[in-house]
Every structure is written in structure tokens, then in C-alpha cells.
Homo-oligomer: A and B are copies of this chain.
Amino acid sequence: MYPGDLLIIGGAEEKCHGAEVLSKFVELAGGSESIIGILPTASEIPDDVSSDYVKTFGKLGVKDLHVLNIKHRREAEDPEVCRIVDSLTAVFISGGDQSRLADIIGNTKLHMKLAERWKEGMVLAGTSAGASIMAKHMIVASDMKQNEDKLKIELGRGFGFMDYVLIDQHFSQRARFDRLLSAIADNNEIIGIGIDENTAILVRNNEFEVYGEHQVLVMDGKSSDYIDISTSKNGSEELTISGFRLHTLTAGYRFDLTGRKLLLKKGVSQNED
């Protein structure tokens, strides 16, 4: 038995014309046969967010939709919620603040149930905060301005469906290069993955493939031979790093997370090194 597909979206995915990324999710979930749970817990306006996705997934042909409207930790411990998850083919985790997801759902029965069902093959998708929560570690700040003075980045615990990666979202659009670099400079075993808006990675067998409109950036510090983190007079973190490897990928290109290298589009022959 293999774990289910993970579709990790950089936020602001197109919901009307085309809806390429969300169509891919519905296809992975089983198309018109899919039974999809919507988890809007990251948002402070979960009802609005849910009804948007209910409409969108309905237009994409999904007939069986369940809103998992978990607002408090005790609701995430409710066996009835877990029974609903047992019936699903896929769960979609909305945007908002990833800390809310961690605080309300982290280490509850619902979290365990999602992990159990994912290991059995259930599809999981997340956008924005729902993207960040997918890995074991995540950047906690929900929207830090990187144009202002650089700040020390804090990491928190995600849901743990991937390890040794750190996902950041709205990546080019919010110019988050510096914050992702700071985050992985502290632990250069971890691969940084910055996903642009209306763009997604589909993770399967420790590889991912890119879908959607823009870029995915991969930052790999494992082969670095020198890292020195210092703090300037005004408290901002300043980095000296040598030889980090950088890749960017557009739709169709793939990345090997074990070999830490770019793979060409399917059907294009690859030069092996």
C-alpha cells in the first residue's frame, strides 16, 4: 500500500476559468466519483472559504462534498469527524494561518486519522497555509514582509506528511526568497520549496511534478561547505553561505527529492550523471 498523492498549492489558485490546479486535484481524488472533505480551519472566515470551494468543486463535477468545519480542538477529537474522514477519497486544506491548523488540529484524533488515511492512499491537497502545514516543519509567521528588515524566522510543527522539506507559498508574488533561505540555512539538510501562486507540486514516490501557471523554486544547501549566521547591530539576521544549489521549475518539470536534482518532463530523455 502506498501513501496518497499530495498536491501542494502556492495559494491563489484559479477557481473559474480553467481552474487547472483544482481540476488536477479533482482528477486525483477520483473525478465525479470522488468524495471530498474541505478543511477550512486555517481561515478566520471558514464559512465563506468553504462555500467558495463547495461551489468550485461542484462546478468541476464533484457530487459528494463534506465541510469539516473544525473551529476548536475538541471538535478535532470528535470520533464522528474521524468517521467522515474514513469515507473520503480526498481532503482539501484551505489557506489562512498555518498556526491555526497546528494549534487546533495538531496531534488530535483528526490529525492521526488524516495521517492514517493518507498512508492508505487518500489524496491530500493544501493551498497557502494548507501547503505549509503538509511537511514536518513549517515557517510559522503567516505573512511576514521580507522587504522590511530581515527578521529571524521561526519554525513550527506541521502535519508531517513530508520530511526534510520546508514549503513556502505565494513565493515570487510575496518575494519570500530571503525568508526561505534564512529558514534552511539553520538546517541545511532540509530542502526549501517555494511555490508561486496558482502553481502546485504533485508529490509521489519522493518526486514531485509541477502544475499550473508560474514557478517552483528549490533551494538545496546540503552540498554547502560553509555557513555562518550572524546578527547585525539592529538585530536582523545576516547570512554567509557558500555553494547552495538552486533550481526553478515550471509546469511539467519534475524534481527528485532523494537525488536532489531536476528531472525533465515526462517523455523527454534525461541525461544521467
Contact = CB atoms under 8 A, between A and B. Distances in A.
A175 B173 contact: no
A248 B182 CA distance: 11
B241 A248 contact: yes
A127 interface: no
Contact of A233 (B213, B240, B244): B213
Contact of A230 (B178, B239, B250): B250
A247 interface: yes
B177 A225 contact: no
Given A241-B248, A244-B245, A247-B244, A226 B172 contact: no
A250 B262 contact: no
A53 interface: no
B242 A261 contact: yes
Interface string A170-213: 00111101100100000000000000000000000000000001
Contacts of A243: 245-247, 261-262
A271 interface: yes
Nearest to A242: B262
Nearest to A219: B246
A119 interface: no
Interface string A238-268: 1111111111111001000000011010000
Nearest to A146: B175
A264 to B, nearest CB: 8
A214 B240 contact: no
A262 B240 contact: yes
Q: Pick from A147, A174, A230, A236 the residue with the most CB of B within 10 Å.
A: A147
B247 A241 contact: yes
A221 to B, nearest CB: 9
Nearest to A273: B225
A224 B271 CA distance: 13
B249 A240 contact: yes
Given A173-B147, A244-B245, A239 B250 contact: yes
A15 interface: no
Contacts of A147: 147, 173-175
8 contacts: A150-B172, A175-B178, A213-B234, A226-B264, A240-B248, A240-B253, A242-B262, A244-B247
